[in-house]
Chain A
Amino acid sequence: MRTEIGTKVSRGKVKNKERAGYWFIFPAALAMFGLIIYPMFYGLYLSFYNTNLVNKWKFVGMKYYIQAIVKPEFYSSVLLTFGFMLLVVAGHFLFGILLASFLNKEFAGRTVFRVIFMLPWLFPESVIALLFTWIMNPMYGVLNSILKDIGIISENISWLGSAKFAFPAVVFACIWKGYPLVMTMVLSGMQSISQDHYEAAEIDGANKWKQFLNITLPGLRPVLVTTLILDSVWWFKQYTLVYTMTNGGPGNATNLISLNIYGTAFNDLQFGKAAAWGIIVFVICYVISRIYRMVLKDEE
């Protein structure tokens, strides 16, 4: 009898504790519901309507989803965004790892270089976009002026106004803006690898390249995977830099999916269509994150 009462009391205590726990998470849960869950479901709801959000609510069912699959407007923009993300992330890793290897060596003024190479990360994206827009201006840009002076081009080129050059130009600016994150992460990863491994490898006769392949890269793997996820997601949803530099143009040369969705909603005022595209992009991002998580799980 005593035992039963004791059990009931302890269960009651547990329940009270659980209740207290729920109360603790309630504000955060409410905020998450208001700021994430509700807008997501409202977006899903909108995607089935041709609406101006005020007085026109025409149910169109799956029309905008079917359009996204049937018409090239959507998927060509998604493919362009994937291409953009791959090039930018690859650029970040190439320059980030090279510079991190350089900064990991002992030399005079290393701290100064570390600060200098970090600078692009510290500037706001809009500032960098305007900076490159001015550098590449077809009338008075310094890039054309330099290239003409050294005889590479004979007349000014419209870097951001040409279908051939706009995409590489934007990718270049984005690589310049984003490599410091990879550089910093890789540098911190390199510093955590014990020197004993390198000394042992040297005794075994491994050259620098083999040391890099067999010690540095495996040692950096957890850092690289985390950085890869962060960087990929960050640049997949890139908006500010590209919008300020080209506004998605010329034509569709730099029309990333984030710009496309924004333009469809707030320029063309087709909120339902934009919501449907947003939902599809959400699914794509979810699939990417699942793939990354599977890779990470294998690592563990």
Chain B
Amino acid sequence: MLKRFLAIVLSGMMMVSMLTGCAGTAQKEDTTKDTATDAITDAASDTTESVKTTEVPEGPVTVTVFCAYASEDPHGQYVYKYAENYMAQHPNVKIEITAISSNDIYTKLAAMATSPDDLPTLFFTSADQAPTLYDLGMTEDLNNWLDNADKADFANGVVEACTLDNTMAFYPIDVQPSAIIYRQDWFDGKNLKAPTTWEEFLNCAKALTEDTNKDGEVDRWGFSMVGSNNSSGQSRFMSYLWSNGYDLISEQADGTWKNGLDEDGFLKAFSFWRDLNNVHHVVPNGITEVDYATAANYFAMEYTGMMLSGSNAIGVAYANNPNLKGKIGSFRIPGDAPGTMLNTEGYAICNKASDEEKAVAIDYLKFFISNDKDQMFWQSSGKIPSTLEGQKAAYISGPDYAGYLDTIAKGCRPTVNFAGMAGLKTILGDGYSSVFSGEKTNEEAVKKMEADLDTLLEDYN
């Protein structure tokens, strides 16, 4: 009897949840469409109407910030310092910073979306996360708040890198295109020139890999590869593939995404990356265990001679080994195609915030990028400022940053507006991880990656 009763109740609950689910879907999809339409209308009207005022109101205003910078050393301290400076100038404003890992921001926001009052006013985002956050429908279109004069403060390509579907999705604080940092003194010692192709890169890496203390074991490697299967490793592998001319996915005219892993020559490019470890041994042992922090430390501790990274690795190197100053150079990622996006980072404003909060948030962000003449936030982290004025700073004028500025000058890839970027990166990570470890052959791994990407794209097409 009890079993029958339970069966009836559970069946009823399932039917109700399915029905409400369907109804909810229609309603929610309509709402999404409305929001999207509104956003496009707003963006379109922006060209004719003036932007909203960003004057700081007189009453008390609290701006809450989910900040990924704040937990990082050594630059996290400046986030708090700039907030304190701003609050000193605006006693009615309270800025509350919550340090949070960038990987956790999406899930936190998704969990908080059901109670909009609790959402932060500002949240950190980077170029590869922005499409996912934008897909959540939480980002304010900053075209509503920034006029052309404001946008003109930013360096070339920065505003475009923050723009998705004509919506300026976040406010740029810094740019971090990828390039290769290298030991200039070691290159000079071996008469090596900065490589422009991956074959030349391999030759340089081979030349730098050696047994320096002659004990019969290699103790210095040419390339500080990040081989761990996480976002850092996956992004670098993606850069390598981009630089070889593989887009991985491409948006079709009808808005659907196409799998690009089956293009000619992809297997060869994939195999080359694997061979750096498994055949040529120009990367440190146990490559699947080498994450970004380990790879950056290997470079700082002079175990490795080159590293594919954003300019923040320079900051790590100098912080851990000040003797490296004057010994580091950088060059563009080898290959014919741009191997990196501009990788702009910054803060998105939550569209659920009040207009007062948004106005203060915009004013605070303008203050953030302009209040420190010494640019200590950017200088200590090794990040490159997003503004024209900032990019004139003395600390980025040396050979260590030359490759990054060259990359910016020659043009980066546009921001890929694909909400399933995290899934794509996981597929790439599983691919290289399985061949590094000997679990799969190159052919098996590429075949699986193609199949997995097809499955992923089903959910986004």
Contacts and interface: CB of A to CB of B under 8 A. Distances in A.
Contacts, number: 128
Given A54-B110, A55-B31, A247-B229, A252 B434 contact: yes
Nearest to B29: A57
B285 A50 contact: no
B92 interface: no
B134 to A, nearest CB: 11
B289 A137 contact: yes
For this complex, into which size category does the number of interface residues on chain A fall?
A: 35 or more
Contact of B439 (A48, A133, A163): A163
A49 B25 contact: yes
B55 to A, nearest CB: 32
Nearest to A155: B217
Interface stretch (B135-143, B311-319, B396-404): B135-143
Interface string B19-43: 0011011001101100100000000
B132 interface: yes
B21 A57 contact: yes
A218 B18 CA distance: 51
A250 B436 contact: yes
B434 A251 contact: yes
A67 B455 contact: yes
A266 interface: yes
Contacts of A58: 25, 29
A158 B14 contact: no
Contact of B106 (A48, A263, A269): A269
A267 interface: yes
Interface in A119-162: 133, 137-139, 155-156, 158, 160-162
Q: Is the interface of B mostly helix, strand, loop or mixed?
A: helix
Contacts of B228: 247
Contacts of B420: 268-269
B107 interface: yes
B284 interface: yes
Contact of B285 (A48, A138, A248): A138
Contacts of A164: 438
B22 A250 contact: no
B49 interface: no
Contacts of B456: 268
Contact of B286 (A50, A160, A247, A248): A160
A234 interface: no
A162 B438 contact: yes
A52 interface: yes
Given A253-B439, A267-B422, A268-B426, A55 B35 contact: yes
A50 B423 CA distance: 14
B7 interface: no
Contact of B13 (A41, A156, A252): A41
Contact of A268 (B138, B289, B422, B438): B422
A282 interface: no
A55 B423 contact: no
A139 B426 CA distance: 26
Nearest to B430: A251
B107 A270 contact: no
A52 B285 contact: no
Nearest to B33: A55
30 contacts: A41-B14, A41-B17, A45-B17, A52-B132, A52-B135, A52-B419, A53-B111, A55-B137, A56-B135, A71-B455, A133-B289, A137-B286, A138-B286, A139-B285, A156-B285, A158-B285, A158-B286, A161-B286, A161-B288, A161-B436, A162-B438, A163-B439, A249-B229, A251-B433, A252-B434, A253-B437, A253-B439, A267-B426, A269-B422, A269-B423
Given A41-B13, A54-B136, A158-B285, 11 more contacts: A55-B35, A56-B135, A133-B289, A137-B289, A161-B289, A164-B438, A166-B437, A251-B430, A266-B107, A268-B426, A268-B456
Query: Closest 3 CB pairs between A and B?
Result: A138-B286, A251-B434, A250-B437
